[in-house]
Structure 1
Amino acid sequence: MAKVSAFEDLEIWKEAVRIAVEIYRLADLSPLRNDYKSRDQIIGAAISISNNIAEGFEYNNNKVFVKYLHYAKGSAGEVRSQLAILVAAGRVNNQDYEKLKMDLFTLSSKIKSFINYLNTYNQKNNK
């Protein structure tokens, strides 16, 4: 894998940003637009995915980065959970839910693969 010099170059960060923008779009639609508590909560969780990737990267320490990648993965699960509740409550349509759920599953899988890569790299280089 080529050395990455900025978190903005990471595909997982780009994907997390794309999903957060999609969550913003969804939050601007009725009836979620007027459900301020749910709107703020899901936007916050969605933003925290990319923010944790960025913050962890900036520590320039793979062990710390892995910790923040776990937080990012957890936030992706939180967004999926919130979406499931919002679709059940009629605040989000099923089509948007299914699309975002699959996008979040895919992102979680990519984050997990990256965690595994970094852990393997750390083990090989810390002998």
Structure 2
Amino acid sequence: MSADKGFEQIISWKKARTLNKEIYRLTKGLEFSKDFALRDQIRRASISISSNIAEGYGRKTDKEFIYFLNIAQASCYEVKSQLYLAFDIAYITKMEFEKVFLNCDEISKTVYGLIKHLTKKSDN
């Protein structure tokens, strides 16, 4: 990946940054904020998405970048699973769930697209 643009230009990272803010907003809610385990876990998983995209970008090879993108994608699925729980126990509304879940879907798709692009580039 070209070092001149920086990881901040990656669409997946930008979307993950938005997700981080949304997760922090949601977890400030009265009930959610008292559930330290779930609150901290969903925050860590969300942070992992943007952090692994950035860390992978800073690696020397596309192969390493792909490795970290796969971790970011897995963390995205972890957030989705935790969102289901938060919704099931009424920490978040259906509308909040759907909004954040959709954001996770978009991140997953853009990360997958970047993985495919880098894999194809490495194969050439």
Letter in 2 for 1:119: T
1:16 equivalent to 2:16? Answer: yes
Checking the alignment, whether the CA contact within 8 Å between 2:16 and 2:107 is kept in structure 1 is yes
State the number of aligned residues.
123
Which structure has more RCO (C-alpha within 8 Å, separation ≥ 6)? 2
- CA RMSD, 1 decimal: 1.3
Counterparts of 1:14 and 1:29, CA distance in 2: 24
Counterparts of 1:53 and 1:62, CA distance in 2: 12
**CA drift at 1:116:** 0.2
Checking the alignment, whether the CA contact within 8 Å between 1:19 and 1:100 is kept in structure 2 is yes
Alignment gaps of 5+ in structure 2 = none
Partner of 1:64: 64
Counterparts of 2:30 and 2:67, CA distance in 1: 36
* 3-state SS, counterpart of residue 54 of structure 1: helix
Matches within 5 A, 1:1-127: 3=2, 5=4, 6-124=6-124
Report the TM-score when normalising by structure 1: 0.92
Counterparts of 1:4 and 1:21, CA distance in 2: 26
Report the TM-score when normalising by structure 2: 0.94
Letter in 2 for 1:123: D
**CA drift at 1:67:** 0.6
**CA drift at 1:3:** 3.9
Give runs of ≥4 in structure 1 deviating > 3 Å: none
Alignment gaps of 5+ in structure 1 = none
* 3-state SS, counterpart of residue 29 of structure 2: coil
Counterparts of 1:8 and 1:48, CA distance in 2: 15
